[in-house]
Amino acid sequence: MSTDTPAPAASTPDRYLAVQRSDEFAGLRRALRGFVFPMTVAFFLWYALYVILSAYARDFMGTKLVGNINVALVFGLLQFVSTFLIAWLYSRHAERKIDPVADRIRAEIGEVTHEDGPRG
C-alpha cells in the first residue's frame, strides 16, 4: 500500500452524506423533482377536472360534437392521450437529464465503497 493514496472516505454513512451535499447530487435531485413534482400536480388536476366535470357538468359533457361522439368521450380519450404523452415526456427527460448524472455519481461512489448495502 502506498501512502500517497488519498485517505479512504471515513465511513460509508459519511460518504453518502458527502455525496448528498454535493452540488452534482443537488443537480440530480433538482432534475428529478423539477420534472416529477409539477407533472404530478398537472396530471392530478387534469384528472380531477375530468372527474369533477363528470359529476357536476353533465350538460357540458353530454354536448355532441360529431355524430354520437360527445365531449365526455373526447375528454376521457384525452386522459389516455395525456397519460401516454406524460409517460413519453418523462422517459425522454430521464434519459437525457437524469440517467447520465445518476450513472456518473454511482460510478464515483463505486470507486470508494463497493456493494455493501445493509441488509434491507
Partner 1 sequence: MRTVLAAEAGDTTARNLTITLFLIFVAITLAITVWASRQTKTATDFYAGGRSFSGFQNGMAIGGDYMSAASFLGIAGLIALYGYDGFLYSIGFLVAWLVALLLVAELLRNSGRYTMADVLAFRMRQRPVRTAAAVSTITVSIFYLLAQMVGAGALVALLLGIRPGTTFLGMDADAAKIATIILVGALMIIYVTVGGMKGTTYVQIVKAFLLMGGAVIMTLLVLAKYKFNLSSLLGDAAASSGKGSNFLEPGLRYGVEVAGNATQTFYNKMDLLSLGIALVLGTAGLPHILIRFYTVPTAKAARKSVLWAIGIIGTFYLLTLALGFGAAALVGGEAITAQDRAGNTAAPQLAQVLGVDFLGGDLGGATLLAVIAAVAFATILAVVAGLTLASSSSLAHDFYANVLKDGTASERQEVNVARISALVIGAISIALSIFAQNLNVAFLVALAFAVAASGNLPAILYSLFWKRFNTSGAVWAIYGGLLAAVVLVFFSPVVSGAPTAMFPDHDWQWFPLSNPGLISIPFGFLCGWIGTVISKERDEEKYAELEVRALTGAGAH
Among 9, 74, 97, 105, binds partner 1 (CB under 8 A): 105
E strand residue ranges, 3-112 = 64-66, 69-70
105 contacts 24 by C-beta, under 8 angstroms: yes
Rounded to 5 degrees, what angle do the CA atoms 35, 93, 34 make?
15
Q: With the CA atoms of 42, 43, 44 and 50 taken in that order, what torsion angle do they form, in degrees rounded to the nearest 10? A: 110
| 19 is an interface residue for partner 1 by CB under 8 A | yes
Q: Give the number of residues in contact with partner 1, rule: CB under 8 A.
A: 61
- 66 to 95, contacts with partner 1 by CB under 8 A? 66-70, 72-73, 76, 79-80, 83-84, 86-87, 90-91, 94
Please tell me the distance from the alpha carbon of residue 95 to that of residue 114, in angstroms, as a whole number.
25
Q: Give the H or E element holding residue 117.
A: none
Q: Which residues bind partner 1 (CB under 8 A)?
A: 12-14, 16-17, 19-21, 25, 28-29, 32-33, 35-36, 39-40, 43-44, 47-48, 50-52, 54-56, 58, 61-62, 64, 66-70, 72-73, 76, 79-80, 83-84, 86-87, 90-91, 94, 99, 102-103, 105-106, 109-110, 113, 115-117, 119-120
